[in-house]
Amino acid sequence: MITIVRFGGSNCDRDAERALSAMGIESEIVWHEDGLPEETTGIVLPGGFSYGDYLRAGAMAARSPILREVRDAADEGVPILGVCNGAQIGSESGLTPGAFTTNASARFQCERVHLRVENAGTPWTGGYEEGEVITLPIAHGEGRFEISESELDRLEAENRVLFRYCDAAGRVTAAANPNGSTGNVAGVCGKRESVAVLMPHPERAVLADVGGTDGRGILDGFA
């Protein structure tokens, strides 16, 4: 059972549930104060505006007691995916490195972007080829990934960068970077490759008639 953790302000929890259901993956939405069910085999931290994004996006939700359970699950190898606000929560709670802050444009951006697969050897990217370009939607105001150059070098050496923003031909350029993220990074793994966060929304690209199917390869990490 994939547990989708709902916080006050989550608004993509039902999107995640419907996307997983369309892929034949059983899931359940759980209120964060109720803790993780015993039957949890995977965890989604969905998008939205937990706690209204007060203080910093994801910072208050990251202090919820359920995140202690999520971190324990991560240590046990349970697959965990944080998307958009869930990525911010994952970063703020220490599940993954780096931080997310206000877009370079200082605007909320909702559009489709191209991503280049940087490492096809993880549960979240195994359905793609390295260097493959996929298209996913973004919808965020604080999606700019920030990390020191030395820390980014370490992540690259450990193959923990999953996706980079690119153009349709796979070129990683400043013009293809929608939010100013360091190194055009759109998604990274934690210490375990079973834990990942990304800013674009794979759950919105599962059905061909409402956004395409490129997101299926990512959610296959729960299959």
In degrees, rounded to 5, the angle at the alpha carbon of residue 136 between the alpha carbons of residues 97 and 208 is: 140
Q: How confident is the model at residue 210 (pLDDT cuts 50, 70, 90)?
A: confident
Residue 71 Cα distances to 96, 176, 212, angstroms: 10, 33, 32
Q: What is the CATH number of the domain that holds 93?
A: 3.40.50.880
The partner residues of 2 in beta bridges, in order of sequence, read 27, 42
Backbone angles phi, psi at 68, to 5 degrees: -65, -40
The total number of structural domains in the chain stands at 1
Paired tokens of 113: 């972007």
In this prediction, residues 10-21 reach a mean pLDDT of 97
C-alpha 188/C-alpha 194 separation (Å) is: 11
Q: Catalytic residue numbers?
A: 84, 201, 203
In degrees, rounded to 5, the angle at the alpha carbon of residue 189 between the alpha carbons of residues 186 and 190 is: 135
In degrees, rounded to 5, the angle at the alpha carbon of residue 215 between the alpha carbons of residues 100 and 86 is: 30
pLDDT value of residue 185:
98
What is the three-class DSSP state of 210?
helix
Residue 55 has pLDDT above 90, yes or no: no
C-alpha 198/C-alpha 117 separation (Å) is: 12
pLDDT value of residue 23:
97
For 100-157, the pLDDT digits (tens) are 999 999 999 999 999 999 999 999 999 999 999 999 999 999 999 999 999 999 999 9
pLDDT value of residue 83:
98
Is the pTM above the cut of 0.75? yes
Residues 6+ apart with CB under 8 A from 17: 4, 27, 28, 29
Domain that holds residue 28: 2-222
C-alpha 36/C-alpha 43 separation (Å) is: 9
C-alpha 155/C-alpha 191 separation (Å) is: 10
C-alpha 165/C-alpha 176 separation (Å) is: 6
Backbone angles phi, psi at 31, to 5 degrees: -65, 135
Q: Are 128 and 217 in contact (CB under 8 A)?
A: yes
